[in-house]
A and B are shown apart, each in its own frame.
Chain A
Amino acid sequence: MATTLFRILRYGYQNFIRNGWLSTATVAVITLALMVFSGLIIFNVITDTAMNILKSKIDISVSFKKEVPEDDILRVKRTLEGLSEIKQIDYISQAQALEIFKIRHKDDPTISQALEELGENPLSASLNIKAHDPQKYGAIATYLENESLKQYIEKVSYRQNQIVIDRLATIIDNVNRTGFALSIILALIAGLVAFNTIRIAMYANREEIGIMRLVGAANSFIRGPYVMEGIIHGFLAGVLSLILVYPVIIVTSPYIQAFIPELSLKTYFNANFVSFILYHLVFGIALGAFSSLFAIRKYLKG
């Protein structure tokens, strides 16, 4: 058993070395497929971050009537916190609202003067609500507009911004869905191209496989070295694609950060370095090994 395993490993390595050009071409194609995978991972990180930023910018604000005491507002807040659709609620008291207003308009003397002349705080307390899914704001707004809450609430900002919020929600949803579909399709194409290259390489070896069968080699003994060769191809392609992708990430990182300041690809890559290496090696080895395994099946029948 150990001898057979050793022979399979030795033949796999030997085939890889002796089929120099074919091995180089196969490694190159798997490398390209893995680079497509990396591209997809990076693309998904970028769109995810961008969409999350966009999502975090959407919220609805509920203004309370001035006479409503703070206790009642906090009670409404607690009730709302029980809703699963809601991610976060911030309470902004009248005083805080005034503070924010003053800071925002500190350079506008007319407004500051008007406020002073007014003598009282004209702003109302409010709740800022963020949902997990932007599609749910409509439902949350409808909940806020029911009879029991109507007595406290002056205004829900959703209705004014409904068109924009809904449109953004649809865009986010579409980008996520299209991104996912695109990733699957591209990953499939890349995988199929790599598989086809190995299939052609196997076709070139069909006579050799036939000879091995005639000499009395068991199918596992014939299959083993080819799978081993596939593993070597995949491993080398994994390493090579990492070596090629890393500088691209480093170079493009500042440009992407210029568009999305919250996202540093370099930091992301460094933080996920181990899993990135693992992805590449596991994908590469799996692609090489399984492609060989499937490609050889045809020649071992009968």
Chain B
Amino acid sequence: MITFHGVSKIYSDKTAALDNVSFKILPREFVSLVGRSGAGKSTIIKLLIGEDKPTKGRVTFSDLDVSKLRSRELSQLRRRIGIIFQDFRLLPSKTTHENVAFALEVAGRPQREIDDLVPQALDMVGLAQHGKNFPHELSGGEKQRVAIARAMVCRPEVVVADEPTGNLDPENSEEIIKLLLKINELGTIVILATHENEIVDGLGKRVISVDKGQIIKDHAKGKYSI
């Protein structure tokens, strides 16, 4: 489903963010991408969603070569990937409902479908009552749940979560991880980039460890270790 073939990413100041990285992610997998800050986790995500291009190697999604996609095709690819960030990245001038609906609107879904799916998605993350609130009226945990609802509502093939619990307290972090596991149970690939060992150790899922731009471990039922 997702393949990195000998991917390197060297930035203009000659620092290698990734150095000859290769791995495969299969359908329905839950993969934790672990490593210290600056190890290369975010670079892997950026290359996967086409926000950056590899200096060497190939990133493929299904049978698409991500680095060769044009602007329009890239938009279409991103509709197949739900993305969750540490800083939530909600649209500040839109309500919770509108933020979730936006993902469906960009995909050109009809209004009737949007009216059905958005409340369902908000209900799934426990925010059915907050549809009319703006992001600044929500707590950090609530904002992240809105981001999950937005990532999920299009039924993407992959959900990528980049340090989704980084700004949250342990209780909210646990809630977010539970939601990610639920999403995975529904058949969606989940890629969780994190540097929090307690979270990873409790999952019992595949762990890819990254350090200094290289993959140092890749275990099917791994624990956090670098």
Contacts and interface: CB of A to CB of B under 8 A. Distances in A.
B49 interface: yes
A161 B223 CA distance: 104
Contacts of A19: 93
Contacts, number: 55
A212 interface: yes
B75 A216 contact: yes
Query: By DSSP majority rule, is chain A's interface helix, strand, loop, or mixed?
Result: helix
A212 B92 contact: no
Interface in B110-169: 110-111, 150
Nearest to B106: A217
B107 A208 contact: no
Contacts of A14: 93
Contact of A208 (B75, B93, B105): B93
Contacts of B106: 212, 215-218, 221
Given A3-B110, A216-B75, A216-B79, A211 B90 contact: yes
Interface residues of B, number: 25
Nearest to A1: B108
B182 to A, nearest CB: 21
Interface residues of A, number: 20
A217 B75 contact: yes
Contacts of A3: 108, 110-111
A4 interface: yes
B75 A213 contact: yes
A140 to B, nearest CB: 65
14 contacts: A3-B108, A3-B110, A4-B108, A18-B93, A207-B89, A208-B93, A211-B91, A213-B78, A214-B89, A215-B79, A216-B79, A216-B103, A217-B75, A219-B71
Task: Kindly list the 3 A-B residue pairs having the minimum CB-CB distance in the complex, ordered from nearest.
Answer: A216-B78, A216-B79, A217-B106
